[in-house]
Amino acid sequence: MNPLRHVAIIMDGNGRWGLKFKKSRNAGHKAGLKTVEKIIKETIKNNIKFLTLYAFSTENWKRPKKEVTYLFKLLENFLLHKIENLHNQNIKLKIIGNKKFSKKLNKLLNYSEKKTHKNTKLQINLALNYGSKLELINAFKEVSKKKRVINEKNFSKYLQTKNIPDPDLLIRTGNTNRLSNFLLWQLAYSEIFFEKKLWPSFNEKDYNKIINKYKKIKRNFGSI
C-alpha cells in the first residue's frame, strides 16, 4: 500500500454546476464550499497530513468582476465563521500565492495563518492568486540573485511550497484533463486522477475510491 501524505485538488466545475442546477455560477461556488468542508473531514479520517486546494489562479482575474467579488466575499465569510473551528481541530492554514487582495481579506488571511501556525493534525495549503509559472520564475530569480548553485535542492528552497512534501496524489474534478498552471514543479511524480464529476457533486465516497486506487498503484519513480 502506497503511503499518502499529501493530496492536491483542482476544484473545477463550480460555475458549471451552478448554471446547470441553480441557474447561477455563484450558487455553484457556494455549494463548492460545502464540498471543501466534507473533503477536509475525510482527509483527516484518512490520516493525510497535507491538503492543497487550488482556490483561485492568477488567470481567474479574467472572470467577470461580480463573480470575482463574490468569490472573495465567500472566502471572507468562511474565514470569519470557520477559522476557530479549524483551529480547534488542530488544522493549520497556509496561503500559497500572492496576497494582493483587499485590506480586509489580507488581514483575515494573515490572522488565520498566525492563529493556526502551530497546529499539526492537518495542513491545508490554500492556493490563492497562485500561478506555477510565476512561482518558478520568482524562484529562479532568487537562486540567481543569491548566486546559489542551481540544483533541485537549492531551487526547492525558493518555492512557496518549501518545507511541504510534494503531492503524492492530484485530483482534478470537472471532466477537464489539464493542470492549469498548478504546482508544475511539485507534481512531477504525482499520481493524477481526472474526475468527471463537477466539484459540488464530488463526495466522500468518490474521494475514498480514488485514495484506494492510488494506494494500489505500483509507483516506480523512474525505476523498474
**Which residues are known catalytic residues?**
12, 60
Does an H or E element contain 49, and which? none
Nearest one of 191, 184, 188, 185 to 218, comparing CA atoms: 191
Tell me the CA distances in angstroms from 91 to 71, 80, 103, 191, one per residue in order.
22, 15, 24, 25
Q: Could you tell me the three cell numbers for 42?
A: 475525510
- Contact present, 193 and 177 (Cβ < 8 Å): no
Instruction: Find cell 447561477 and name the residue.
Output: 24
